[in-house]
Amino acid sequence: MIGKALQGRGVLRVMMVLVMVFLYAPIVSIVVYSFNESQLVTVWSHFSTKWYVALLHDDQILDAARISLEVALSAASGSLVMGTLAGYILTRFTRFKGRTLFSGMVMAPLVMPEIIMGISLLLLFVGMEQIFGWPERDLQTIVIAHITFSTAFVAVVVQSRLRDIDVSVEEAAMDLGARPVDVFFLVTLPLMVPALVSGWLLAFSLSLDDLVITAFVSGPGSTTLPMVIFSKVRLGLNPEINALATLIILLVGLASGIGAFKTAFKPAAKAAG
């Protein structure tokens, strides 16, 4: 019986290793082949950094990257504010009129197919522009759209942290004379910092990565990096994209990895619970 259990454990281990290979092989292959000299992306000739050099001279990509970074910075910050509020409301205000509607609206973008959000937001923006003359389709519409879908992710992170914070800590602050606003800024917010960091990073990388919704709501002058990448890779493999992808993986992966790592391993966070 013990032997069988060990055998079962072994099967699980093999399964887990295979899944990890499945998850990481594509990423590794991109990084490796970004240093391939050959134009034929998957046929290895020899090591070269020429595609990185080419990337630095590709104005279309550089422009798009600048736009994407700009959008991602504002969208992540907007989502942070909105997601923190939404997460706070959903965990701390357990009863109010329209709570179900509110939680539905906040959380639905987690699963809502992007094409639906894309087309519906675009039609809204077009309609609003007809009626109010605002907003023109440019970076701001992209930022609004990104805030709308990333808020859910921030809210989830914030919610799980808030659940770990003992409500009586907030009550104690209030008992000692802090008004609700003071309680939030002096006690609740400082205790949420790790969640806020990873929430912001998550929103940042989601914004940097979004193609479908962005394609719908962007205007003629606002082509983001994923849009450029998509138009290039539709035509097939492109070694320059491998180099770019490697840089993105490095940047986003590292930054958000650190964020996630911090939340996953922060023992001090547990002290509050």
Partner 1 sequence: MKAVRFLGMPKPGQGRGWVISGPFLWFLVFFLVPFLVVVKISLSTAEIAIPPYAPLFTLSDDGTISLALHLGNFQYIFSDPEYVLAYLSSLRYAAGTALITLLIGYPVAYGIATSRPGIRPALLMLVVMPFWTSFLIRVYAWIGILKPNGLINNFLMWLGVIHQPLEILNNQFSIFVGMVYAYLPFMILPLYACLEKLDHSLLEAASDLGARPFRAFLSITLPLSLPGIIAGSLLVFIPAVGEYIIPTLLGGPSTLTIGTVLWNEFFNNHDWPVASTVAVALIVLLVGPLMLLQHFQAKEETR
Partner 2 sequence: MLIASNDRFQPWLDPTATPQLRIENVVKTFDDFTAVDDVSLNIYRGEFFSLLGGSGCGKTTLLRMMAGFATPDKGRIFIEDTDLVPLPPYERPLNMMFQSYALFPHMTVEKNIAFGLKRDGMPKDEIAERVAKVLDLVQLSQFAARKPSQLSGGQRQRVALARSLVKRPKVLLLDEPLSALDKKLREATQYELVTIQQQVGITFIMVTHDQEEAMTMSTRIAVMDKGKLVQLGTPAEIYEYPQNRFVAGFIGSVNMFDGPLRENHADYAVVDCPAWGGPIEVGRGIGYGLGHLTTLAVRPEKIQLAKLDQPFAPVNRATARVKDMAYLGNSYVYHVVLESGQVLKVTTPNMGLAPEQQMRRDEEVQIGWDPSACIVVEP
Residue 83 CB partners (closer than 8 Å, separation 6+): 150, 151, 152, 153, 154, 155, 157, 158, 199, 203
Of 263, 261, 260, nearest to 201 (Cα)? 260
> Considering the rule CB under 8 A, would residue 271 count as an interface residue with partner 2?
yes
Question: How far is Cα 260 from Cα 243, in angstroms, rounded to an integer?
Answer: 25
Structure tokens at 12: 């699980």
Nearer to partner 1, 52 or 230 (CB): 230
> Considering the rule CB under 8 A, would residue 241 count as an interface residue with partner 1?
yes
Question: How far is Cα 244 from Cα 31, in angstroms, rounded to an integer?
Answer: 10
Q: Which listed range, 45-53, 54-62, 69-77, 144-152, lies at the site for partner 1 (CB under 8 A)?
A: 144-152
CB of 270 to partner 2, least distance (A): 9
Interface positions, 164-193, toward partner 2 (CB under 8 A): 166, 168-169, 171-179, 182, 186-187, 190-191
Which amino acid is it at 61?
Answer: I
Interface positions, 70-129, toward partner 1 (CB under 8 A): 82, 85-86, 88-89, 92-93, 96, 98, 100, 102-117, 119-121, 123-124, 126-127
CB of 189 to partner 2, least distance (A): 10
> Considering the rule CB under 8 A, would residue 6 count as an interface residue with partner 1?
no
Nearer to partner 1, 85 or 197 (CB): 85
Residue 46 CB partners (closer than 8 Å, separation 6+): 36, 37
Of 115, 118, 147, 141, nearest to 128 (Cα)? 141
> Considering the rule CB under 8 A, would residue 271 count as an interface residue with partner 1?
no
Instruction: Look at residue 214 and give the partner it binds from partner 1, partner 2, none, a contact being a CB closer than 5 to 8 Å depending on partner kind.
Output: none
